[in-house]
Amino acid sequence: MTDSRKKKSHKRIFNHRTLVLSVLIAFLLIVALSLFLHSAVIDFAKNHERQHLIKLAEAVQLNLDPVGVNSLVGSPDDLSTPAYSAIKKTLVSIRDIDPSYRFVYLMARKNGQIIFLADAEPNSSPDFSPPGQLYPDASDELYQIFDNGEAFVEGPIIDKWGEWISAHAAIRAPIGGEVVAILGVDIDAAEWKTSINAYHFFIIIIILLIVVGTAIFSFALIRMSKDRASITQANKELQDAREELLQSERLAVLGRLNAVVSHELRNPLGTISNALFTITESVDQDDKEAYAKSIILCERNIDRCNRIISELLDLSKVNKQITEKVFIDKWLDEILDQSPSLTKVNVVKIFTAEIEIEIDKDRMQRVIDNVCLNAAQAMTSTTQAQATLKIHTRLTNGRLEIAFTDNGPGISRECMEKIFEPMFSTKTFGVGLGLPIARNIMTDHGGGLEVVSTVGKETIVTLWLPVP
């Protein structure tokens, strides 16, 4: 065997040994990393799920009236009181928000023991716990919350109703601040365990990424290097085509608007003119009632004109987007409290997002106002006592969602196909640009607007934004 052939043979053996050693080292690293990731991710998952449930309980308890809760004495006599009826209605509304909420209830401490105050279950249900019923399985933590007022999660626990994960939050008296009751939200322990086990999938994905990541990255890097110029050019052409298409669509819409804007603006302006004439006549005749009514008409129709003009400006992109960071739950709570369209609607707020996100506050407020106004108008046939708008913020699938659920009559299939068409409206007034513009605003934020409706039951409008 020549020296050259010997060198090649030794080189192949060396390369083989090196490859085997590299694979072995990589395998050991993957095993070690897998064990570490398994422990870290599972610990994180458990802590994350518990913190989520605590936030949930704290958010939910804000919907309960502490005065009404404090008025309950914890006996079957409470069943006939208006306070109990109102509290039970709220508990039922909370339970119905999410199918994972199995039991929602209130507890109090009486004579050194834990008793039930109210329960979301129907009174005829075998799972119903009447006021004053003793809860014998109460833990030390459950007793301690009446002293420290700190929300907590316990479980899994087993009682006569099954195996549960329970989240508890304190309800304090409006005067003095002592804990008068605790809110409990129970989730089936099986769902809790499923959520924890789901993180194993994440671990598997990480491991697979480690194994094949280098090869994929190398291939992608070479591919991207070769195609960078062509991809850049293609993206530019696609963007130019998109802008041209949007411009064409915008011009087409604006062309159609020319046929209706004069009519839509002329009517409120004519009403304002007539109202001002009435004001003039009323001043001469000292007719204060006619004067006041005319002023209200002027204000309403001026608002209507401003709304139409704002919609036209948004459609034509005259308004520029100015963004700033806000804590979405706090900002949304302030907007809803100021919304005039919700004055005759029962509002249930479930805020669990607790995230800071960058938005154009003015444009986003217009979206919120439009959705709330549509929901309130949809529930005009529903009595005030029954008209309910549930607003739920949550983080899911890498995005922030704000869901508005009303119990109005729903939207027919024919109308659902047209709700995002400019100038389509089932109302006797308006230009029909509210939802199309709202969707455009959400799109400009990198998100979207989705509508799901069940005729005769409910309509759910979901606004979503990407989570940075």
CATH number of 324-466: 3.30.565.10
Residue with tokens 């050019």: 233
Q: 3-class secondary structure for 251-293?
A: HHHHHHHHHHHHHHHHHHHHHHHHHHHHHHHHHHHCCHHHHHH
Residue with tokens 């998109």: 242
Segment among 112-126, 155-169, 200-214 with least mean pLDDT: 200-214
DSSP-based helix, strand, coil % in the chain, nearest 5:
55, 20, 25
pLDDT of residue 465: 94
Residues 6+ apart with CB under 8 A from 215: none
Q: What is the mean pLDDT of residues 274-298?
A: 66
Gap between the Cα atoms of 334 and 339, Å rounded = 9
Could you tell me which of 448, 431, 428, 430 has the C-alpha nearest to residue 439? 448
pLDDT of residue 338: 87
* pLDDT bucket at 243, cuts 50 / 70 / 90: low
Could you tell me which of 422, 435, 431 has the C-alpha nearest to residue 463? 435
pLDDT of residue 464: 94
* pLDDT bucket at 40, cuts 50 / 70 / 90: low
Q: What is the mean pLDDT of residues 387-410?
A: 92
Residues 6+ apart with CB under 8 A from 84: 72, 78, 118, 131
Contact between 375 and 388 (Cβ < 8 Å): no
- The rounded mean pLDDT for the chain is 76
Q: What is the mean pLDDT of residues 158-169?
A: 79
Q: What is the mean pLDDT of residues 414-420?
A: 82
* Cis peptide bond upstream of 156, omega within 30: yes
Segment among 98-107, 241-250, 337-346 with least mean pLDDT: 241-250
Taking the model in full, what pTM does it have?
0.39
Contact between 140 and 114 (Cβ < 8 Å): no
pLDDT of residue 200: 62
Contact between 390 and 442 (Cβ < 8 Å): no
Evaluate if residue 437 carries a pLDDT over 80. Answer: yes
Percent above pLDDT 90 for the chain: 16
Segment among 100-104, 191-195, 307-311, 371-375 with least mean pLDDT: 307-311
Evaluate if residue 327 carries a pLDDT over 50. Answer: yes
pLDDT of residue 57: 74
Comparing 468 with 11, which gets the higher pLDDT? 468
Evaluate if residue 34 carries a pLDDT over 80. Answer: no
pLDDT of residue 460: 94
User: Which among 36-40, 91-95, 157-161, 242-246 has the top mean pLDDT?
Assistant: 91-95
* pLDDT bucket at 321, cuts 50 / 70 / 90: confident
pLDDT of residue 296: 73
Cα angle, residue 145 at apex, residues 144 and 148 outer, rounded to 5°: 85
Residue with tokens 């963004």: 323
Domain residue extents for the chain: 324-466
pLDDT of residue 213: 61
